[in-house]
């Protein structure tokens, strides 16, 4: 079991340089920009790197009007971009069905912004969520690697 977990921890230290040694600082900020409207917020959930000690702040959720087909620009601070992160989102297609999607996972230090563009100009964004990953761990029963979400920054659209 320890042999399976050790490679995950080595990868975590390489991918999450701030997580293998220093203490956790204040939670990073995310800025959502839609058609010139900008909102900066803290996380709705924030955990330590091992995702064992978490706090929540539902009031950190951002609400913005996002017209159909309008891109959403997401900018993250250095504290967030220094760890792997991605954007998960839901939108309503022209047929009225909800579709869930996600961006690629951005490696630590690789990217500080992302533009979320839906496939069709008639698609209506419902929600977008920036998610930061914690240190990978192994499921004790299966030995399979797990990538837990350390923090979430949420945008809800006011359609």
Give the single-character DSSP code of 106: B
Whole-angstrom distance, CA of residue 131 vs CA of residue 65 = 21
CB atoms within 10 A of CB 140: 8
Strand partners, 39: 32
pTM more than 0.85: no
Whole-angstrom distance, CA of residue 59 vs CA of residue 95 = 32
CB 156 within 8 A of CB 127: yes
What is the pLDDT, as a whole number, of residue 141? 84
SS3 54: strand
**Residue 69 burial (C-beta neighbours within 10 Å; 0-12, 13-18, 19+):** middle
CB 148 within 8 A of CB 19: no
CB 64 within 8 A of CB 39: yes
What is the pLDDT, as a whole number, of residue 144? 83
Closest CA to 28 of 10, 47, 4, 14: 47
Token representation of residue 28? 């990073």
pLDDT averaged per 10 residues in sequence order, the chain, 159 residues: 36 41 70 96 94 94 95 96 96 96 96 97 97 86 85 92
CB 74 within 8 A of CB 32: yes
What is the pLDDT, as a whole number, of residue 143? 81
């Amino acid at each position: 079991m320890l042999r399976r977990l050790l490679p995950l921890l080595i990868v975590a230290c390489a991918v999450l340089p701030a997580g293998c040694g220093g203490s956790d600082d204040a939670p990073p900020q995310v800025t959502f920009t839609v058609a010139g409207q900008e909102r900066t917020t803290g996380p709705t959930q924030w955990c330590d790197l091992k995702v064992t000690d978490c706090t929540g702040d539902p009031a950190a959720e951002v609400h913005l009007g996002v017209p159909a087909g309008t891109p959403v620009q997401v900018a993250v601070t250095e504290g967030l971009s220094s760890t792997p992160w991605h954007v998960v989102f839901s939108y309503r297609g022209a047929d009225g069905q909800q579709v869930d999607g996600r961006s690629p996972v951005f490696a630590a230090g690789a990217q500080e912004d992302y533009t979320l563009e839906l496939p069709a100009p008639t698609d209506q964004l419902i929600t977008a969520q920036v998610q930061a990953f914690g240190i990978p761990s192994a499921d004790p029963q299966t030995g399979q690697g797990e990538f837990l979400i350390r923090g979430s920054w949420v945008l809800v659209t006011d359609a």
